[in-house]
Amino acid sequence: MKINLEEIYNLLFEYYGSQGWWPGEGIEIAIGAVLIQQTNWHNVEKAIEHLKEAGCLNVECLKKISLEKLEKLIQSSGYYKAKARTLKNLINLLIKDPQPDRNALLSIKGIGYETADSILLYWFEQPYFVIDEYSFRIFQRLGYYEGKDYLKLQRVFMEILPSDTKLYNEYHALIVEHAKKHCFKTNPRCNDCPLAKHCSYINEPNI
Ligand code: SF4
């Protein structure tokens, strides 16, 4: 029988401990959620540092700054032209509505489910379970899911787990930590993996 989602959480929590996500607070969470698309956190940190140095880690400055200057400040995060436009549109939305709902966020070009749900969960503390590449791979290996349908895998979590913002926050952070430390290596570190007993990858390493 496959391991249940609570057990997976407990094993990950026991092994990695509390992750204390998300770095930053307020608008910085939304900016980070946009900038992290298609890159790593190191590059996002550099871009956020540049915004901070320019005094532009706030709605007022992001509203006033020219698109060209914004592009330059966030260049290290890659796809900076598209991301700058997304940030500008997001700021315009936040000025009209400081706590937009999911549909409003999704109406902005460049904001998909993962970005919208990261903003809703980590900034507005609403119970949306965030799905990412790591979740697809790990939960396929654990026999939970096949395919890449964001909403379907999200439903698996949200129908089984209690609707608890803190739990969703910590669980997603633990998945990311597990991916980085064990599962997303070129050769996954299965020997000392806390989920090894429950993982099909060990027997079928093509998964
Ligand atoms: S046993 Fe290996 S493949 Fe399976 S979850 Fe752990 S690290 Fe990933």
d(CA 100, CA 94): 7
Nearest to 37 by CA among 1, 73, 3, 87: 87
The range of the structural domain enclosing residue 154 comes to 5-20+129-202
Q: 92 lies in a domain? A: yes
d(CA 125, CA 119): 8
Same domain for 116 and 154, yes or no, is no
Task: Determine the atom of ligand 1 nearest the C-alpha atom of 207.
Answer: 3
For ligand 1, atom 8, name the residue with the nearest CA.
Answer: 183
Higher pLDDT, 79 or 24: 79
**C-beta of 3 in contact with ligand 1 (< 6 A):** no
- Residue identified by tokens 């379907």 is 152
Q: Express each pLDDT in 83-101 by its tens digit.
A: 999 999 999 999 999 999 9
Same domain for 188 and 137, yes or no, is yes
Task: Say what the pTM is.
Answer: 0.93
Same domain for 90 and 156, yes or no, is no
Q: 207 lies in a domain? A: no
Same domain for 45 and 119, yes or no, is yes
pLDDT band (50, 70, 90) for residue 204? low
Mutate to test the pocket of ligand 1, among 144, 183, 198, 207 (most ligand atoms within 8 A of CB): 183
End position of a domain, from candidates 103, 123, 143: 123
Q: 152 lies in a domain? A: yes
**Looking at the chain, how many residues does it have?**
207
Same domain for 82 and 158, yes or no, is no
pLDDT band (50, 70, 90) for residue 157? very high
What is the Å distance from ligand 1's center to 4 Cα?
16
Q: 107 lies in a domain? A: yes
Q: What is the pLDDT of residue 21?
A: 80
d(CA 42, CA 155): 31
Give the count of domains, the chain.
2
Mean pLDDT (whole number) for 101-115: 98
Q: Are 161 and 6 in contact (CB under 8 A)?
A: yes
Task: Determine the atom of ligand 1 nearest the C-alpha atom of 200.
Answer: 4
Same domain for 111 and 147, yes or no, is no
